[in-house]
Structure 1
Amino acid sequence: MSPRLTDKLATAVMWLAALLILGILFCFLGYMLIKGLPVLSWDFISGMPSDTRAGGGVGPQLFNSFYILFLSMALAMPVAIGAGIYLAEYAGNNWLTDLVRLSTESLASVPSIVLGLFGMIVFVNMAGFSISIIAGALSLMLLNLPVLVRVTEESVRTVPASFREASLALGATKWQTIWRVVLPNALPGIITGVTLTAGRALGETAILIFTSGTTVSRHLPDFDLLASGETLAVHMWYVMAVGLVPDRMDIANGIGALLILMVLLFNLALAIPAELLRRRMTGSGR
């Protein structure tokens, strides 16, 4: 077989694989949106849930989803980005940094239900937070932290060494080089990692069932960190598993569509400001 024919066959296989993945994705999203969009209304999105009567909403669960996500990311991002920069720019190649990387990758592969049980033991029982929003946010931070560390390190490492050398040659310090040159160019990769991590966290259930609970406050919004904080994903699981509400299928379909729309809007809300910030920090017009 000639190299040209081999190249064409390989290209065709790659295109078929990409189209297959896109087809599965569109079928899944289309099914969820077709089933769930008719359920979405202002009363459903902002209303209070009901355990027995049809027509309840998911307002508290929607608020708790973003509240817990914001708290967990606010706790994880400074540590993760700092650790990623240290591993990429300052740490040497020795057994200690290899151990840190191995530990980070091992933590990223731990099943979420194990992190949920760990969070229940440490934050709920030992720390005395009980089943609460803060316990769920701290446990969710453990899920986000290793992924953000690895994404930050790899994004920083992809910045060409010539950028650093040019900045240092102009008299900039190492920190100025990292802040003004390296981070702006690594920002798209970091934002991509943050977006993927946030999307995963929005749909997390196992961790939050054990730490933030399956009930909500009757006040909306409730910023009390010690209040119980059921999220949308947990509410979907609860309704389908043990719920007695007669329209539980409609509620589950509506939550599924709402989660999809939330992830899409969240991606846009992060990607557009990140690109504008990168252009401002690098002085690039495109």
Structure 2
Amino acid sequence: MSPKITDKLVTVLLWLSAFLIIGILLSFLVYLLYKGLPVLTWDFITGRPSDIEAGGGVGPQLFNTFYILVLSFGVAFPVAVGAGIYLSEYAGNSRLTDIVRLSTESLATVPSIVLALFGMIVFINILGFGISIIAGAMTLTLLNLPLLVRVTEESLRAVPQAYREASLALGATKWQTIWRVVLPNALPGIITGITLTAGRAVGETAILIFTAGTTVSRHLPDFDLFASGETLAVHMWYVMAIGLVPDRMEIANGIGALLIIVVLMFNLLFTVPGEMLRRKLTGSR
């Protein structure tokens, strides 16, 4: 077989594989949206859940999902960006940094149930937070932090070294170079990491079942950090596992469609402003 035929055959196989993966993903999304969109009424999105009667909503769970996510990223993002900048720009290559990178990668692969047990022991039993929003958010931070650190470091390393040298040659300090040149050019990769991490956190159940609980506050919105904080994903698990409501299938379908919409919103909310900020900082069009 000639090299040209081999090349064309491999190209066709790769395209078929790509279309197959996209087709599976689209069929999955279309099916979930087809089942769930009719359930997404205003009363369902903003209403309160019911344990016995049909027609309950997911308003508190939707609020808790965003609240816990914001709290988690409020802690994880500054730490992750700082750690990524240090590992990429200051630490250099040494045995210590290799150990730090290995530890970060190892933490990123830890099963969520292990982090759930760790969070329950540390934040609930030792620190006395109880089953609460703050305990769930802090444990979720442990899930998000390793991935954010690695994504930030790799995004910074992907910026060409010539950019740094040009900035330093013009008289900028190292920090000015990082802040004005390196970070803006690494922003797309960092935003991609934030989006992936946020999507993973939104769908997390094991950690939040053990730390944030399966009940919600009677007040909406409730910003009490020590209130119980059931999220959308946890409520879906609860309804399908031990729920007594007669319309639990409709509730689960509605939550599935709502989670998809939330993840798509995260992509838009992070990607569009991030690209605008990158253009403003770099002066590009």
TM-score tier (shorter): over 0.9
Q: How does 1:4-83 map to 2 (within 5 A)?
A: 4-83=4-83
Consecutive unaligned residues of structure 1, counting only runs of 5 or more, are: none
Once the two structures are TM-superposed, the CA of residue 13 in structure 1 deviates from its matched residue by: 1.2
1:250 aligns with 2:250: yes
How much is the aligned-residue C-alpha RMSD, in angstroms? 0.5
Structure 1 distance, partners of 2:28, 2:98, is 40
Aligned to 1:275: 275
Q: What is the alpha-carbon distance in structure 1 between the residues aligned to residue 7 and residue 196 of structure 2? A: 33
Q: Measure, in 2, the Cα distance between the counterparts of 1:4 and 1:167.
A: 45
The residue number in structure 1 matching 2:140 is: 140
Secondary structure of the equivalent of 1:271? helix
Tell me by how many angstroms 1:266 deviates.
1.1
Aligned counterparts of 2:272 and 2:266: Cα–Cα separation in 1: 10
TM-score of the superposition, structure 2-length normalised? 0.99
Aligned twin of 1:218: 218
AA aligned opposite 1:202: V
Q: Residues 83-124 of structure 1: CA distance to partner in whole angstroms, max 9, x if unpaired?
A: 011111111211100000000000000000100010000001
Tell me how far apart the structure 2 counterparts of residues 92 and 257 of structure 1 sit (CA, whole Å). Answer: 45
Partner of 2:239: 239
Q: Runs of at least 4 residues of structure 1 off by over 4 A?
A: none
The aligned counterpart of 1:166 is 166
Counterpart of 1:119 in structure 2 is: 119
| TM-score for the superposition, normalised by structure 1 | 0.99
Which string of whole-angstrom CA distances, capped at 9 and with x for unpartnered residues, describes residues 9-30 of structure 1? 1111111111011000011001
Residue 6 (structure 1) shift: 1.7
Residues of 2 paired with 1:265 and 1:210: CA distance?
27
Which residue identity is paired with 2:103?
S
Cα distance in 2 for residues equivalent to 1:93 and 1:170: 26
CA distance in 2, matches of 1:166, 1:9: 44
Q: Which amino acid aligns with 1:79?
A: V
> How many angstroms does 1:7 deviate by?
1.4
**SS state at 2:128 partner:** coil
SS for the counterpart of 2:54 is coil
> Matched residues in 1 for 2:116 and 2:186: separation?
32
* Structure 2: runs of 5+ lacking an equivalent: none
The CA distance in 2 between the partners of 1:134 and 1:248, in whole Å, is 28
Number of positions where the alignment pairs a residue of Structure 1 with one of Structure 2: 285
Encode CA deviations 1:10-59: one digit per residue, 9 max, x unaligned. Answer: 11111111101100001100110000000010000000000000000000
Distance in structure 1 (CA, Å) of the matches to 2:14 and 2:85: 35
